[in-house]
Amino acid sequence: MDTPNNTPPTLLERIRSRRLATTFTLLATLSVGILAGSVLTRKVSGKEQSSVNSSDARPLIVPSPVALSNGFSQIVKQVGPAVVNINTEELPKPAAKQRRRGGQRLPQPNNPNGDDDNQQTPGDMQDFFNRFFGGQGGDDGDGGAGGERRALGSGFIVDGRGYIITNNHVVDKADKIYVRLSSDPDDAGDPGRAATVIGVDKDTDIAVIKIDTKEPLPTVKLGNSDGAQVGDWVLAIGSPFSLSKTVTAGIISAKNRSIEEASANGVSQTQFQRFIQTDAAINPGNSGGPLVDMAGQVVGMNTAIYTQSMGSQGVGFAMPANIIASVYNMLIGPEHKVVRGSIGIQFQTAQSSAVGRVYGFTNGVIVGVVTPNGGAAKAGLQAGDVLVSIDGRNIKDGDDLVNDISARHVGSTVKIGYMRDGKQNTANVVIGDRAKTYADITGQQDEPAAPQEADAGEGKLGITVAAIPPAIVAKTGIKGGVIITNVRPGSFADEIGLGKSAIITAINRKPVTDEASYRAIVSTLKSKDDVVFVIQSPTQKNLNSYVGGTLP
């Protein structure tokens, strides 16, 4: 006969049974508490609604207005009427293809424009404004195919007869420009008063526009931006996010700030842009509005912001008033353009202190390239010379040189002190027109002749090539290679950044001496091959870049 097994429960079984008992006990307690709380709350709520007497409560009274201003409101009342809202309309235009395989960019040649810096930082200043500021980059949703694209910006009246200063990127490429005054009614169906462009200066991103008026308009008072100090209070006034008459406050956080970007043609777009930096909130739509000091004077024009969110992150940039005044005075002149002086050299601004020690100078500018037929070339200056003085005054740096030379009249003469091989020399240099100096370089290049036969790389690479024109050979000294005459949109060459007029001197470490050698090399390329081009600039000697990718 089997005997029953009376083995006592194990420790694990006891723990499990106690856990279940404890859990049920807690749940029961919580349920009772919730029910009791609900009953009590219902009783209190009902009591308040039925039995509380509030007849002794006193009504709130709004007091008379008291002036507690720190001065901001008075400044806004003074300046605000002269700040305008600018709307532009632009017919849609085909957008250039921007996709690049691997994000590569074709390095640009040294700046050939007079005394400009050698800017080789990748990027595009217009892209900077479109991505980081708004203005012309804004779109209200009507920018689809066949429709008009609308953009919004700000400006300020400087002449009661209707002359307004704003940013060039606000009105650039606009087919229609409208201005709304602060006193105009907010009528969504009325775009505003039609405006015309008087003149623009892309180098400083300044534009002057005008509206017709029968009565004098309110104007701002221009200040001296040289007197503005880091830490001074400033106000930014404009129309951020289409919110007109918006005012933000902050301080000047830095001065003489540059944004090192280069345009697609290799010419610096920031050479004459030295900004006032501010932490006053600036957002898309503020572009072209005034930056005002505590005296109610305009010390700058809000131009750009640094942001990763399309909104203010406390770093904004304003073009100084002194630069605005100089440019404005030239734009309202008979020719409606800005003329700057140049001696026809190129130089590199950012350089190691070791360069100065090796070449024996502590201040000045070392010449990188001398523009043919420019004032410096005619005066005998050479690459490698160190410019140390202007009319007996020591040159601090490249900015000092550019600011001095660009402000001089075309045709005048300046005495340049320079060092060559450790010896001090002087030269009398005639000031030329900066714009014409650049045009002489780029405008006289012969257009490459059309190829006589189809390029072997047209199908594989998406480019056609031709022999290098004699004028470019003479200018650059290139002894072999081919020049790109066309790039097919969406092709392999387009995606990796090859551009028209670039000169190919080697492919995959094999020299390209002429069209025949080019076709022979390309004929061996196949899908999935890595292809690397050595590219020579058509305007600069010994400026090579390497561009590559994998064939699809």
Cα–Cα distance for residue pair 108/110, rounded to 1 Å: 7
Instruction: Pick the catalytic residue from 116, 117, 154, 169.
Output: 169
3-state secondary structure of 448: coil
Residue 359 host element (H or E): helix 353-359
Q: How far is CA 113 from the centre of its chain?
A: 20
Q: Which residues are within 8 A (CB) of 65 and not within 5 positions of it... i.e. 6 or more apart?
A: none
Q: What is the DSSP letter of 36?
A: H
Q: Break the chain down into helix, strand, coil percent, rounded to 5.
A: 25, 30, 45
Instruction: Pick the catalytic residue from 117, 172, 203, 205.
Output: 205
Asked if 205 is an active-site residue, the reply is yes
Any bridge partners for residue 93, and if so which? none
Residue type for position 73: S
Instruction: Pick the catalytic residue from 225, 287, 406, 491.
Output: 287
Cα–Cα distance for residue pair 114/365, rounded to 1 Å: 14
**DSSP-derived pairing of the beta strands 423-430 and 463-466:** unpaired
- Residues 316, 300: contact at Cβ < 8 Å? no
3-state secondary structure of 10: coil
CA distances in angstroms from 142 to 94, 185, 192, 284, 526, listed in the order given: 15, 23, 18, 17, 44
Cβ atoms within 10 A of the Cβ of 431, count? 22
- Cα atoms in the 13 Å half-sphere on the side-chain side of 147: 9
Q: Which of 276, 271, 272, 287 is nearest to 226 (CA)?
A: 276
List the structure tokens of 156. 């300020």
Give one word for 46, left, alpha or beta, with left for phi > 0 and alpha for psi -120 to 50. alpha
**Where in the sequence numbering do the catalytic residues fall?**
169, 205, 287
